[in-house]
């Protein structure tokens, strides 16, 4: 019997999750039914949106259930198949991560070409991470030639792609914020940013004013809170904000107040638009068609932070939520 190790949500966190909110469980691997495949997962993703799913109540995705395997993006090799569409040996991306083996309907898996890019890249730059950056900067808050672009959490999974993409789309200046001097240096040295703000090193608003003395045209928001306030203040007339996330509030135990300067958007004829990547999956072929070439010629650089083994998945998630990653945080199974 093949043993499957999987991570269950053991308790709903109050505030910041703790290691004992998760449980490593051994279970038998079920046989695939007609139309299903068995996948040996090789990589899985941990992402900020998962924190919301640990709470009770509906959001745009259903909450994780206590005592059952969590889920999320993963990639792996098909080791058994009862589907005519997906053969044994295929590499597939699917949504049953947080476990070493997954049984799922063939229709719920996407076959990808491992020769086009490494397996882990399909969870990062060629996955929803890269697509999010692309959608934010082309559909939600489109970059125009000569724009000044500001990205928060710029060393993270989406931010590390967004800075480089903004430049390709014609931005004249790209500014990123990150926590710590090491990350800030990396933004400029490796990830295509013109200027970096270490938000731990002083006033965010003052640092943004110094980096963009004439203001900004586009802001990609992953943080909310003081970053959103500073960006609204710095926004030029006609500016655009893409609200991708608000990680500063994900562990809040009380309602989080909105920006006190929100009405400035009206005075500046500016827009703040939220986005759910689920609404833009139809753009995957367009994005992959562009990004695969950029990855191949080296003009799009990616970073990953890797934890080894399913047992380290909760630790990887907690570390990512505290900003312990550069680029995409992944678990190699």
pLDDT digits (tens, 9 = 90+) for 186-213: 999 999 999 999 999 999 999 999 999 9
Position 110 scores a pLDDT of 97
The first and second tokens of residue 267, run together, are 């005075």
Q: What is the pTM of this model?
A: 0.94
Task: Express each pLDDT in 246-266 by its tens digit.
Answer: 999 999 888 888 899 999 999
Compute the distance between CA of residue 242 and CA of residue 42 in angstroms, rounded to an integer: 32
| Average pLDDT rounded to a whole number, residues 48-75 | 94
Q: Where are the domains of the chain?
A: 3-124+302-332, 139-278
Give 210-247 pLDDT, tens digit per residue.
999 999 999 999 999 999 999 999 999 999 999 999 99
Evaluate whether 284 touches 259 at the Cβ level (below 8 Å).
Answer: no
The predicted model gives 275-294 an average pLDDT of 96
Per-residue pLDDT reduced to its tens digit, 9-22: 999 999 999 999 99
Is the pLDDT at 1 greater than 70? The verdict is: no
Residue whose pair of structure tokens reads 């993409």 in the numeric block: 165
Contacts of 171 (CB under 8 A, 6+ apart): 143, 146, 147, 148, 149, 218
Candidate from 94-108, 248-262, 273-287, 311-325 with smallest mean pLDDT: 248-262
Calculate what percentage of the chain has a pLDDT beyond 90. 95
The CATH label, of 3.30.43.10, 3.90.180.10, 2.130.10.30, 2.40.37.10, for the domain at 3-124+302-332 is 3.90.180.10
pLDDT of 161 above 90:
yes
pLDDT, tens only, 312-332: 999 999 999 999 999 999 999
Q: Select the CATH number that applies to the domain covering 139-278 from these four: 3.30.420.10, 3.90.960.10, 3.30.300.170, 3.40.50.720.
A: 3.40.50.720
- Which tens digits make up the pLDDT trace of 112-139? 999 999 999 999 999 999 999 999 999 9
Average pLDDT over residues 270-277: 97
* The predicted structure's pLDDT at residue 252: 87
Strands 36-45 and 235-243: unpaired
Nearest of 73, 12, 136, 56 to residue 333 by alpha carbon: 73
CA pair distance 119, 302, nearest whole angstrom: 13
User: What secondary structure letter does DSSP report for 121?
Assistant: G
Q: Which of 296, 314, 291 is nearest to 134 (CA)?
A: 291
Res. 57 pLDDT band, cuts 50 70 90? confident
Average pLDDT over residues 279-291: 97
Model pLDDT for residues 138-151, shown as the tens digit of each residue: 999 999 999 999 99
**What is d(CA 333, CA 317) in angstroms, rounded to the nearest whole number?**
15
What's the chain's average pLDDT? 96
What pLDDT does 168 receive? 97
Q: Tell me the C-alpha distance between 160 and 174, whole Å.
A: 12
Alpha carbon distance 221, 210 (integer Å)? 19
Choose among 187, 207, 191: nearest CA to 199.
207
- E strands in 52-124: 74-81, 91-94, 101-105, 110-112
| Contact by Cβ (8 Å): 193, 127 | no
35: number of Cβ within 10 Å: 14
């Amino acid at each position: 019997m093949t043993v499957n190790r999987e991570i269950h949500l053991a308790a709903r966190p109050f505030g910041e999750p703790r290691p004992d909110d998760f449980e490593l469980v051994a279970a038998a691997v079920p046989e695939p039914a007609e139309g299903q495949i068995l996948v040996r997962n090789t990589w899985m993703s941990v992402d900020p949106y998962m924190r919301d799913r640990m709470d009770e109540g509906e959001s745009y995705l259903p909450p994780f259930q206590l005592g059952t395997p969590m889920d999320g993006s993963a990639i792996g090799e098909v080791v058994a198949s009862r589907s005519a569409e997906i053969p044994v040996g295929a590499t597939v991306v699917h949504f049953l991560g947080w476990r070493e083996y997954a049984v799922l309907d063939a229709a719920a898996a996407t076959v990808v070409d491992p020769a086009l890019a490494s397996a882990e890249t399909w969870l990062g730059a060629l996955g929803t991470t890269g697509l999010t950056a692309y959608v934010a900067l082309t559909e939600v808050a489109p970059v125009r030639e000569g724009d000044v672009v500001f990205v928060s959490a710029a060393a993270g999974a989406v931010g590390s792609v967004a800075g480089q993409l903004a430049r390709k789309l014609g931005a004249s200046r790209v500014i990123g914020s990150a926590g710590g001097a090491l990350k800030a240096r990396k933004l400029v040295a490796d990830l295509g940013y013109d200027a970096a703000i270490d938000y731990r090193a002083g006033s965010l608003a003052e640092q943004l004013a110094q980096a963009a003395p004439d203001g900004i045209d586009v802001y990609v928001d992953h943080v909310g809170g003081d970053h959103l306030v500073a960006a609204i203040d710095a926004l030029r007339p006609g500016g655009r904000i893409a609200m991708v996330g608000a990680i500063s509030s994900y562990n809040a135990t009380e309602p989080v107040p909105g920006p006190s300067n929100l009405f400035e958007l009206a005075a500046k004829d500016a827009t703040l638009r939220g986005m759910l990547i689920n609404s833009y999956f139809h753009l995957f072929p367009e994005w992959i068609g562009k990004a695969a070439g950029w990855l191949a010629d080296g003009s799009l650089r990616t970073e990953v932070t890797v934890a080894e083994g399913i047992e380290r998945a909760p630790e990887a998630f907690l570390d990512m939520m505290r900003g312990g990653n550069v680029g995409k945080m992944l678990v190699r199974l």
